[in-house]
Amino acid sequence: MNRSVHCAGPGLWSLLLAAAVSADTAVEQQPGYDAGFKAGYAAALKELTARQHETPSTPTVPAPAALPLAAPPAEGMPDWWNHSSFLYPNRDGWRHHLEANLSATSLGGNDSGHALRIGGKAYSQIGHWTNELSVSIDKRKIEQVSGGLNEKDYRIVQETLRRDLSPNWYVGGGYIWELDEQNLIDSRHTVLAGVGYYWIDRPGLRLDTFVGLGRFRENYMEFVRDYVGINRRDSDILYTYQTLQWQLAPAWSLRQGFRLINDGGRSGRYVLDPVNPRSGRYVAAEYVHRYRYLASLNLDYQLAPKAVLSFGFEKRYDSNPWPDVLRADYTRRLNFTFQY
């Protein structure tokens, strides 16, 4: 069988080739074929030549997305002054913030009455340095047993400087001047320095603590000089505070603070002179360790981008007050703040 196939092969290919030539001749004789074929062949050849000389193109690769920076403060609540400068980086070189406060206060504890407070704060920041200057004046109307009113003032000026070391750590120091007629203090000067830590610091929530060392000097009013027999007192202090600020809703926020001051030295606990009580003078029965604290809680409502209405409660405690003075005082405050 193989042989018969090989013998028949040349004859079969001859018949197929003759048929193909005959068919091609028949097609070539159709009108327009030659011109169309030549035109198509020339176009294909031109395209092939152009492709051979093309420079290979570089594939298009999408550019990588920029790394996200810290979200800027929301409009109407740009509270960079309450946070680390690492959370809201200062790209302007220098920035500032101003506040003006007006509040009506109800007093309780040693005194019953009301007070009107006016004050202001100024913040400025350069790089990771933040400065705060605050001034506050209380005009107190104290109700007397006789039904009259007695006026007592409380004034405070505070200057603090903070340097953020990292998103969590910072160092700070400051100076505080006070006049407290209620506690018979003509002037109190306090200097301190220490280190702080942000346990939580993100938009809408901040929790931080501060621990520092300092020293204060109290200069007393005439009554203390005459009847207690001391003009002033100095002591080292351990100064600690904790603050919390929480954005509860777009217009509502909560502020809480606790400040504790422990005296390094001891102070006298004074009683009426047992030997000569008619003299009206006081003597030290013993010397004790003294500490003071201030606890506050405030609820803020954002009336407008630059206006805040607050309701707050405050407790002041002194473990070793003057004779016949209660250890705790309470205030309830309605406050209006304008920010710029």
pLDDT in tens, 125-169: 999 999 999 999 998 887 765 556 778 889 999 999 999 999 999
Cα-based angle 150, 104, 321 (whole degrees, multiple of 5): 50
CA–CA gap between residue 292 and residue 97 (Å, rounded)? 31
CA–CA gap between residue 313 and residue 182 (Å, rounded)? 19
Please say whether the beta carbons of 87 and 170 come within 8 A.
no
Domain 87-339 falls in which CATH fold? Porin (2.40.160)
Phi and psi (nearest 5°) for 10?
-60, -35
Please say whether the beta carbons of 85 and 95 come within 8 A.
no
- For the segment 246-261, what is each residue's pLDDT rounded down to a tens digit? 999 999 999 999 999 9
pLDDT at 78: 63
Tell me which residues of the chain have a pLDDT lower than 50. 1-37, 41, 44-45, 48, 50-77
Report the Cα–Cα distance between both ends of the chain, in Å, rounded. Answer: 109
pLDDT at 278: 86
Which tokens hold the place of 127? 């790089």
CB atoms within 10 A of CB 36: 10
Please say whether the beta carbons of 192 and 173 come within 8 A.
yes
Q: Cα torsion at 212, 288, 269, 260 (round to 10°)?
A: 30
Residue 48 exposure: Cα atoms within 13 Å on the Cβ side: 6
